[in-house]
Structure 1
Amino acid sequence: MKTKLGLQILLDISMTITLMLLMAFELIGRTAHEWIGIGMFGMFILHHILNWSWTRNLFHGRFTLFRILQILCVFVIFITMTGTIISSVLISRQVFSFLSISTGRSFGRMLHMLCVYWNLVFFSFHLGIHWNVMMGVVRKLCKRKNVGSVLLLRMIAVSIAVYGIFAFVRHGIPNYLFLRTQFVFFDYEQPLVLFFADYLAMLELFVLIGHYCASGVRKIGKRREMKTE
């Protein structure tokens, strides 16, 4: 495995873990949430540094359907991350308290909720778009390809995704995505381990959606290329 690819995968795993911790805002405490958020921002910058060659060539080359999907996803994540950072400064009580910002808290809270939950969706979707890369690494590490194991893993993935739909509704995520409520509600009786299990299932749901969307778009693109030849 190349060093850069290894770093990118390690960073993606770290960002996923960090995102899960950030979603447990009320369960881990405000101070921890704010400092972990700073760490997430740092990893977001590092991610773009490691992928600078892709950004630099953004407007060069052919714009295939897959590439358009990829660019749209990255653009939305950039918007949601920017909104998250701005709103974080507005509502911060610890890390940015030295700025003494006393206005815009209500707007900042709503913007933060909106951006954070859409970021969860598109971050997961983005992972799904590039899932083939990670699976390629796994295939290289596993010398033998067992058809039965592949089928079993797919069944487990689909089962987790189905549970992710249940968790998505149970936690009221649609309400946060479309601002049907101004506050995030937490079940304080739910163990932290089960909370993370719910959110990982939701993340896996959108990873799966992103993966199959990307696969479908690639197939459509190949068919178009064959027709034009």
Structure 2
Amino acid sequence: MPLHFRLLMNAVAGGLLLAALAYDWLGNLAHELVGAAMFGLLIAHNTFNRRWYGSTARKGGRDLRGWLNIATIAALAAAMLTLLVTSVIISRSLFSLLPIASSFAARQLHAQAAYWALVVVAIHVGMRWAMIMASMRAWLRLGTPSIGRTWILRALALVVAAYGVHSWMVIGTGSRLLAEAEMTLNLWNFEEAALQFFLHQAAIVALFVCLGHYATRLTQLRREGASCATSRHK
């Protein structure tokens, strides 16, 4: 399957994760259907990338970037598995006939895992941002990177990331990640400001995409600097 098609599929899965956070806006049945569709795309994503996992297992821990990559994937797997298990436990529509007793603790854990999944997915995307941009340039036939376009995009990313910090405080994501606040997906008045909710959540995603991307760039520069120093001493 072409890379750009897989990237589009992943983008749709990410959009579904954002949409699923708007529980009060969707209603329970739509929320569960959106979640089921997201997990379907997630299974497809892992199926298409199954060879990559073997390569990562062999090479992943050779440097700092490799260890960060493994840690991010492990955290993402834990968040998604927690979401999947708790979604079955607390289901009121798709899995309501299963003889499983729902609980307040499972609902709390489900909501907390959703916020962690959002953050870790964004970091995961940021660590692959250079590859994504290269694929998009090839797909759109933009040729070699333009210095002017690169700096415009960097400035735009800085503005969006700054708004992401503001959105982080508005939504209270930090306290929800640490379970310091009551864990619920009913956190917004969608009758008055549905669009603002999605803008805030998208800005938080953009913030962590930037952090993941530039953390990866720093590890690359560090490795390149170490390689140059080693070459000079030979």
Residue by residue over 1:137-190, the C-alpha shift from the partner in whole angstroms, topping out at 9 and shown as x without a partner, is 233321365433322221111111111111111011112100112233222344
The answer to whether the 8 A contact 2:161-2:210 is kept is yes
1:115 alignment partner in structure 2: 113
Q: 2:54 aligns with which of 43, 47, 56?
A: 56
Matched, 1:198 2:174: no
- 13-22 or 55-64, which moves further after superposition? 55-64
User: Which residue does the alignment assign to 2:216?
Assistant: 214
Assess if the C-alpha contact under 8 Å between 2:165 and 2:207 holds in 1. yes
Q: Which moved more, 1:43-52 or 1:60-69?
A: 60-69
SS in 2 for 1:179: coil
The one-letter amino acid of 2:175's match is N
SS in 1 for 2:56: coil
Residue of 22, 25, 29 corresponding to 2:23: 25
Where structure 1 has 5 or more consecutive residues not aligned to the other structure, the ranges are none
Question: 145-154 or 203-212, which moves further after superposition?
Answer: 145-154
The runs of 5 or more residues in structure 2 that have no matched partner are: none
CA contact (8 A) 1:129 1:214 kept: yes
The more displaced of 61-70 and 10-19 is: 61-70
Q: 1:7 to 1:146 in 2, by over 3 A?
A: closer
Matching of residues 73-88 of structure 1 within 5 Å: 73-88=72-87
1:10 corresponds to: 8
Please show how residues 17-166 of structure 1 align to structure 2 within 5 Å.
Answer: 17-61=15-59, 63-103=62-102, 105-140=103-138, 141-143=141-143, 145-166=145-166
Distance in 2 (alpha carbons) for counterparts of 1:186 and 1:142: 40
Q: Which amino acid aligns with 2:188?
A: F
> Partners of 2:169 and 2:34 in 1: how far apart?
26
Query: Contact 1:66–1:221 (CA<8 Å) still a contact in 2?
Result: no
Write the distance in 2 (CA, Å) between the matches of 1:145 and 1:64. 28
Does the 8 A contact of 2:4 with 2:135 survive in 1?
no
Q: What percent identity do the matched residue pairs reach?
A: 27
Secondary structure of residue in 2 paired with 1:96: coil
Q: Structure 1: how far apart are the matches of 2:56 and 2:136?
A: 28
Measure the CA separation in 1 of the matches of 2:168 and 2:48. Answer: 32
| Residue number in structure 1 paired with 2:228 | 226
Q: State the number of aligned residues.
A: 226
Q: Larger deviation: 91-100 or 149-158?
A: 149-158
> Alpha carbons of 1:27 and 1:113: their partners in 2 closer, same or farther (altered >3 Å)?
same
Cα distance change on mapping 1:190 and 1:164 into 2, 3 Å? farther
SS of corresponding position for 1:183? coil
Question: Which segment is superposed worse, 196-205 or 176-185?
Answer: 176-185
TM-score (ref. length: structure 1)? 0.92
Q: Which consecutive aligned stretches of 4+ in structure 1 deviate over 6 angstroms post-superposition? A: none
* Cα pair 1:4 1:50 within 8 Å, conserved: no
Question: 1-side partners of 2:192 and 2:68: how far apart?
Answer: 37
Provide the C-alpha distance between the structure 1 equivalents of 2:190 and 2:161, rounded to a whole number of angstroms: 24
Q: For the residues of structure 2 that align with 1:81 and 1:175, how far apart are their CA atoms?
A: 20
TM-score (norm 2): 0.90
